[in-house]
Amino acid sequence: MRQARFASVWRRGLSAAWPICLGYLPIGMALGVLGQKAGLHPLAIGFMSLIVFAGSSQFIAVSMISSGIPALTIVLTTLVVNLRHLLMSSALAIPFRGRSRRLLTLFAYGVTDESFAVNYPRLLDGNWQIEHALVVNHAANLTWIASTIIGGYGGQYIPEGAFGIDYALIAMFICLLIFQLRGRVYLFTALVAGVLAVGLSLVLPGNWHIIAGSMIAATIGTIIKRRHMRSPL
């Protein structure tokens, strides 16, 4: 009985994770190529993926490393970019209430924009447990680490800027956004977040405009959804 449940958890988790893994392969290899062009050893790129596991931050870090920017500036910049994880963590705190800290720590390590987008709607539906989410997170994690190392080794054979590599991460975020547009309120929230982020970028330093725009838009979207709960948009 226990083995059957274990197999079921892995099967359901992997069936949800494979689109992320498929998307991570080209993006991870793109990061590996850019890291190799920036002078990083493929194993150093893999180690970065292991301890950071945040695609957008890693792309930014590699770009800053290639520009010769000091390490402290790189760390602070990637910290600010990753502050969006506070929003995802606060949302996940409700369905995972009462779980052990050790299990939550293991889960938190694997949270990314993509795994959150896959796990959160399923958790809200009530037929998804933290064990399924862990499979999603860490299947994606292993794929990401492996693909960045492969890209690092293969980077020496690929010309810089070839195949639209710089656009890979942006394309994946657009795809994830489209899959989450399950109604007009979601579309409205996405548009508000985009407009606010662009507008706030003119007055806020660093990447704070992304966080501020996302929080304001999410708040507006939540208010609208609650007021129209009986007549969904």
Question: What string of DSSP letters covers 156-208?
Answer: GGS-TTGGGGGGHHHHHHHHHHHHH--SHHHHHHHHHHHHHHHHHTTTS-TTH
Q: In which band, very low, low, confident or very high, does the pLDDT at 233 lie, cut at 50, 70 and 90?
A: very low
Contacts of 105 by beta carbon, 8 Å cutoff, 6+ apart? none
Residues 57 and 157 in one domain: yes
Tokens 């929003």 label which residue? 87
171 within domain boundaries: no
- Give the closest residue to 24 by CA, choosing from 130, 135, 120, 150: 150
What is the per-residue pLDDT across 184-222, written as a single tens digit (0 to 9) for each? 887 888 888 889 888 888 888 766 777 788 788 888 888
With a cut of 80, say whether residue 84 has pLDDT above it.
Answer: no
Counting the structural domains of the chain, the total is 2
95 within domain boundaries: yes
Residues 130 and 223 in one domain: no
Per mean pLDDT, which range of 21-25, 80-84, 172-176 is the poorest?
172-176
Residues 103 and 144 in one domain: yes
Percentage of the residues of the chain whose pLDDT score is greater than 70: 85
In degrees and rounded to multiples of 5, residue 82 shows phi and psi of -80, 0
Domain assignment of residue 204, given as a range: 181-233
> Whole-angstrom Cα distance, residue 128 to residue 1?
19
What is the per-residue pLDDT across 43-74, written as a single tens digit (0 to 9) for each? 999 999 998 888 778 888 887 887 787 888 88
145 within domain boundaries: yes
